[in-house]
Amino acid sequence: MRRLAQERHVYYFEEPILEPGPPSLRRRDVAPRITIVTPSLPEGLEAAEEVAAKRQLVDLLCYQEGIGSPLLWYYTPMSLAFSDHLDAGLVVYDCMDQLAAFRGAPPAMVEQEQHLLQRAGVVFTGGYSLYEAKRHLHANTYMFPSSVDVAHFRAARGPLAQSDDQAGIPQPRIGHYAVLDERLDTELLAVIADARPEWQLVLIGPVVKIAPEDLPRRPNIHYLRLKSYEQLPAYLSGWDVTFMPFARNESTRFISPTKTPEYLAAGRQVVSTPIADVVHDYAARGLVRIAATPAEFVAALEACLTEEDASRRRWLDAVDRHLETMSWDRTWASMKELLA
């Protein structure tokens, strides 16, 4: 978004908030030429009424800001319902996830995605699996796996001050940050905690679409609240190893976790379940350990914790060579060329 804002003013249309009163817009500038736009809608609107209200607010935004022939950049097909009438200079579908496979996805999402694919001039996919799934549906489909701000996360390789909620947790600490939802393998989490009660499992992020009581509770499992992007390196610096205990289901079939290169940039070894993009992009290069069963997962974490320094230095050298190819500047330069 910041790169695009170097040439255009970016208006990021957020999910609406519900509050009394007629529909209205809230704006806040978060960076030069980047404005977050939040629609305010009254409660109790029917689905069609909500779409109509959003459509009116989009028109109001375009009128007030003098927006003509906008570049429409979609992260979800559902936004098409209230913006398909706009006379766009270009339509981009930035497909970061197979959202229709997520729990609670709107039934209309598949149909809306078909409409979006018909209108889009170019389609970007957030990983190899999504590319394989979408490239036959649109002639201009290009793969852009997650990049990483290496300098931001590399700070975790040195000692950073620990926050109060983590400082008191013993070590070794094995950490993971994510939205905790149906993609989390709760059974695997419990097995690891029970197999090695001396290991401390730290999970950071909000609990969404699953009941908090469904999360395994053990003395050595610690659930910390959502942290900001700026806070993540400090938490990473306090972890000995990172892990990605993803369940294998429809919601994880196409994911390409952005946290994988972030963990690596922080200099932390990673153990993951066999997520296709993680295997294809990282495990095949020897950068991430893959574990298909709970026993393999425990053994892989044990190997990370006991690896000799010389072996770890060779691994880190390979990590850094790979990360040199993954900057956001490189990604944006390639995207910009395709947009032109």
pLDDT tens sequence across 209-230: 899 999 999 999 999 999 999 9
Residue 15 corresponds to which amino acid?
E
80 and 115 Cβ atoms separated by less than 8 Å:
yes
Tell me which of 3.40.190.10, 3.40.50.2000, 3.10.580.10, 3.40.1360.10 is the CATH number of domain 150-323: 3.40.50.2000
Q: Give tens-digit pLDDT for 15-52.
A: 999 999 999 999 999 989 999 999 999 999 998 999 99
Distance CA 134, CA 140 (A): 10
> Given pLDDT bands bounded at 50, 70 and 90, which one contains residue 5?
low
Q: Residue 164 has what pLDDT?
A: 94
In CATH, the architecture of 4-148+329-339 is 3-Layer(aba) Sandwich (3.40)
To the nearest whole number, what is the mean pLDDT of the chain? 94
Distance CA 80, CA 117 (A): 11
Residue 160 has pLDDT above 70, yes or no: yes
Q: Residue 1 has what pLDDT?
A: 61
Q: Give tens-digit pLDDT for 110-120.
A: 899 999 999 99
Residue 6 has pLDDT above 90, yes or no: no
> Given pLDDT bands bounded at 50, 70 and 90, which one contains residue 193?
very high
Q: What is the pLDDT averaged over residues 92-107?
A: 79
Q: Could you tell me the pTM of the whole model?
A: 0.88
103: number of Cβ within 10 Å: 13
Q: Residue 3 has what pLDDT?
A: 66
Tokens of 168: 């008191």
> Given pLDDT bands bounded at 50, 70 and 90, which one contains residue 251?
confident
Q: In what order do the strands lie in the sheet with 141-143?
A: 71-74, 90-95, 122-125, 141-143
Q: What is the pLDDT averaged over residues 68-74?
A: 94
Cα–Cα distances (Å) from 140 to 83, 125, 184, in that order, read 22, 11, 33
Asked if the peptide bond before residue 172 counts as cis, ω within 30 degrees of 0, the response is yes
Q: Residue 99 has what pLDDT?
A: 72
Non-local (6+) Cβ contacts of 153 within 8 A are 232, 233, 236, 262, 263, 265, 266
What is the location of CATH 3.40.50.2000 in the chain?
Answer: 4-148+329-339, 150-323
